[in-house]
Amino acid sequence: MHYFDYRLGELYCEEVPIKKIAEEVGTPFYCYSHGTLLRHYNVFDHSFEKVPHIVCFAVKANSNLAVLKLFARQGGGADIVSGGELYRAQKAGIPPGKIVYAGVGKTRQEIISALKAGILMFNVESSQELLTIDSIASEMGVKAPIALRINPNVDPQTHPYVSTGLKENKFGISHTTVLEEYKLAISLKNIDVVGVHKHIGSQITMVSPFVDALEKTIDIVEKLKEGGINIKYIDIGGGLGITYEDEAPPQPNDLAKAIEPLLLKSGCTIIFEPGRVIVGNAGILVATVLYSKKNDDKTFFIVDAAMNDLARPSLYNSYHGIAPVEMEVNAREKIVADIVGPICESGDFLAKDRTLPNYKPGDLMSIMSSGAYGFSMSSNYNSRPRVAEVMVNGDRFDVVRAREKVEDLVNGEVIPEYLE
């Protein structure tokens, strides 16, 4: 459910014609719907209203300050994976007491910043990291609240690059040895054991992997209880999938039905880390068609957006719906074509072998479901300034990140004197 639809033959976001934004902002740009973001956040939050919980939005899915602020205003927290994300979360006014910090490679400086901020907990991914956090906390004269991230060895049945809870993945501590690590954690003076964490992957379209992983997690919580260690927080991670093409992922409500009894029985406060499910379908990428060309039998539509703006097709071969901004384009003859960008890589495509209307130079095109892992994964490859981000709310729109200028591209670069 999202607020991008056609009115009088034109694509709108809420009350604003996409064409109007394109005229004022130029293309490419990301467009986020405030109403959709709010709705998705609230649907998720309400699905688990019977369970004491905190929704910690996964900042890496969409890190724009305006998006983070919107969730902060709803009482949301943040799931962060770097010092940069900590900075953003704080800047957006997310209370440190609602920030959880995962990631296998937290640096000393990042750990210091998080301890200074007073985050809810570190989701610790190895015993060396645990010892490092303990020693830094000791130097600072504080106690570090931690959960251990369990690797439950559960197959999320998703793309291998976004599977994180299999034993061959780098994440977490094996569920077979995690009790030993908890013993170590308890013995450390500057560590406060408050939780257990798991996150098994992304774009998961079935309930069963969540249930399997949660059962293994709760098993650990019970064993800890038997050993006299009472856990306050169970962090079940994120990973709920969305519809890009024809997937039929469980709705937050379906997930709630399946796991609520387990969650309630635990007696713990539950932390959720949804990313994609909240923002994925709340954003689109708008591009302009530059050219079309035919090489033998193959037709290409070349647009002004590229893999540096939206990496998912190149990275995961993922599908994004393509829609014209002016509906009349759909009436044209159909051809099978690739949509590609200007980047000098054959992997630079946004869609492959699609049956599309015959786009002409100047047509506006919307790449749907681009709100998650879109701008946040974008880069400056080929020295392309990163695109603008826009948020629509009702009949107004605001540029929430200005398009980069070419001058921004060389920010921080220095030519040594001897080359002058």
Ligand X SMILES: *Cc1c(COP(=O)(O)O)cnc(C)c1O
Which residue numbers are catalytic? 344
Span of 89-97, 246-254, 275-283, 400-408 interacting with ligand X by CB under 6 A: 275-283
**Least distance in angstroms from the C-beta of 240 to ligand X:** 6
Span of 63-71, 180-188, 269-277, 288-296 interacting with ligand X by CB under 6 A: 269-277
What do you get for the CA distance between the two ends of the chain, in Å? 57
Binding residue (CB under 6 A) for ligand X from 18, 58, 111, 289: 58
Binding residue (CB under 6 A) for ligand X from 202, 269, 318, 369: 202
Question: Which residues contact residue 157 at a Cβ distance below 8 angstroms, ignoring those fewer than 6 apart?
Answer: 204, 205, 206, 209
Binding residue (CB under 6 A) for ligand X from 40, 216, 276, 384: 276
Q: Is 61 in the site for ligand X (CB under 6 A)?
A: yes
Binding residue (CB under 6 A) for ligand X from 34, 40, 60, 401: 60
As to burial, measured by CB atoms within 10 angstroms (0-12 exposed, 13-18 middle, 19+ buried), residue 332 is middle
Span of 62-70, 104-112, 231-239, 384-392 interacting with ligand X by CB under 6 A: 231-239
Under 8 Å between Cβ of 93 and 115 = no
Q: Is 239 in the site for ligand X (CB under 6 A)?
A: yes
Under 8 Å between Cβ of 73 and 37 = no
Q: Is 199 in the site for ligand X (CB under 6 A)?
A: yes
Cα–Cα separations (whole angstroms), residue 226 to 217, 222, 229, 230, 249: 15, 6, 7, 9, 36
**Least distance in angstroms from the C-beta of 226 to ligand X:** 27
Starting at the edge strand found earlier in the chain, the sheet holding 10-13 runs: 4-7, 10-13, 16-17
CA distance 78 to 96: 9
Span of 56-64, 213-221, 285-293, 357-365 interacting with ligand X by CB under 6 A: 56-64
CA distance 78 to 90: 9
Angle at 406 between CA 405 and CA 408, to 5 degrees: 70
Q: Which of residues 77-106 bind ligand X (CB under 6 A)?
A: 79, 81, 102
Interacting residues with ligand X (CB under 6 A): 58, 60-61, 79, 81, 102, 199, 202, 237-240, 273-277, 372
